[in-house]
Amino acid sequence: MKTFNTLIFKQEESVAILSINRPQALNALNSQVFDELNEALDYIEQANYLKVLIITGEGKAFVAGADIAEMKNKNTHEAADFSERGQQTFLRLENLKIPVIAALNGFALGGGLELALAADFRFASEKAKMGQPEVNLGLIPGFAGTQRLSRLIGLADALYLLTTTETIDANEALRLKLVQKVFPHEVLMTETLKIAQLLAQKAPNALQKVKFTTRKGYEMPFAQAQKLESEVFGSCFDAEGKEGMNAFLEKRKPKF
Ligand code: CO8
């Protein structure tokens, strides 16, 4: 099991749980967090037995943004480099073959919300608070938040949040479809884990293929995306697909 300074990495059977661990700074993202996130992703990418990743934060925050104290002395080039490094890290997270769930246990602000946007879906505690406050600091989101937020919730709602910098609660986030579920704070992790464990029991190759095809096709013209779907559908007719279909017809549980 890997150990880190700014992350806690745990495993519950085939579910990995990565928790950002700088509670004294509300888990603000500094260079060390990015270095360690990349190391954790190296590990997860190679650990074939891991079926789902949950990302969360220690203490009262998910992540309260990029670390302003570290960031403030950067010049324009260094800031652009930091932005690119963050974007590449979050893209790696988004492109993980396994489903990624962000469990929002508290503040998810600025770069913290951008991190959550790179997950496949988000579950929020009733105590979660979300927003993109960057323009209050004379900044804009730099970890692809301007792009992911509008693609996820639509242009007008994204622009509303980005320009007003309004901090929204979990129910408003649910209304905007920014989060998929809201749980009482005390049960956020147990409920998230239950869903992760359900996912972990699905046919493993099909689970990865459905994520890949949906995400890849989303960026393509429809005709091309349909073609991709047919090709991937065809590839499912291997041992795993045969086992799934045979098990249904034989009225038994599949052995994946
Ligand atoms: N960076 C650094 N330190 C932070 C951050 C942060 N983003 N957020 C909180 N902290 C620190 C505080 O400074 C404080 O430290 P200390 O105890 O040493 O004074 C500690 O965490 C606790 O915070 P508070 O005392 O402020 O806690 P409150 O409960 O009173 O308030 C808030 C919680 C409302 C979340 C408040 O901390 C806050 O407003 N934080 C900043 C939120 C913010 O503006 N986030 C956006 C940052 S910018 C960003 O994310 C840009 C991303 C793109 C970067 C692109 C690359 C260049």
Q: Whose CA is nearest to atom 39 of ligand 1?
A: 64
Res 23: pLDDT = 98
Instruction: Lay out the sheet containing 181-183: strands in order across.
Output: 7-12, 15-20, 52-57, 100-104, 121-125, 181-183
**195-228 residues labelled b (16+ CB within 10 A) or e (exposed):** bbeebbebbbbbbbbbbebeeebeeeeeeeeeee
Q: What residues line ligand 1, using a CB cutoff of 6 Å?
A: 25-26, 28, 64-69, 71, 79, 82-83, 86, 107, 109-111, 133-134, 137, 139, 141-143
Res 62: pLDDT = 98
In the chain (256 residues long), the average pLDDT of successive 10-residue segments reads: 91 97 98 98 97 98 98 97 98 98 98 98 98 98 98 98 98 98 98 98 97 97 98 98 98 96
CA distance 87 to 83: 6
Q: Is 126 a catalytic residue?
A: no
Q: How far is the CA of 18 from the centre of ligand 1 (A)?
A: 21
Res 166: pLDDT = 98
**Homologous superfamily, domain 7-200:** 2-enoyl-CoA Hydratase; Chain A, domain 1 (3.90.226.10)
Atom of ligand 1 nearest to the CA of 65: 50
Q: Where are the chain's structural domains?
A: 7-200, 204-249
Q: Confirm if 101 and 120 have CB atoms less than 8 A apart.
A: yes
Res 195: pLDDT = 98
Q: Whose CA is nearest to atom 35 of ligand 1?
A: 64
Q: Whose CA is nearest to atom 15 of ligand 1?
A: 25
Res 234: pLDDT = 98
What 3-state DSSP class applies to 143? coil
Q: Is 13 a catalytic residue?
A: no
Q: How far is the CA of 10 from the centre of ligand 1 (A)?
A: 26
Q: Whose CA is nearest to atom 4 of ligand 1?
A: 25
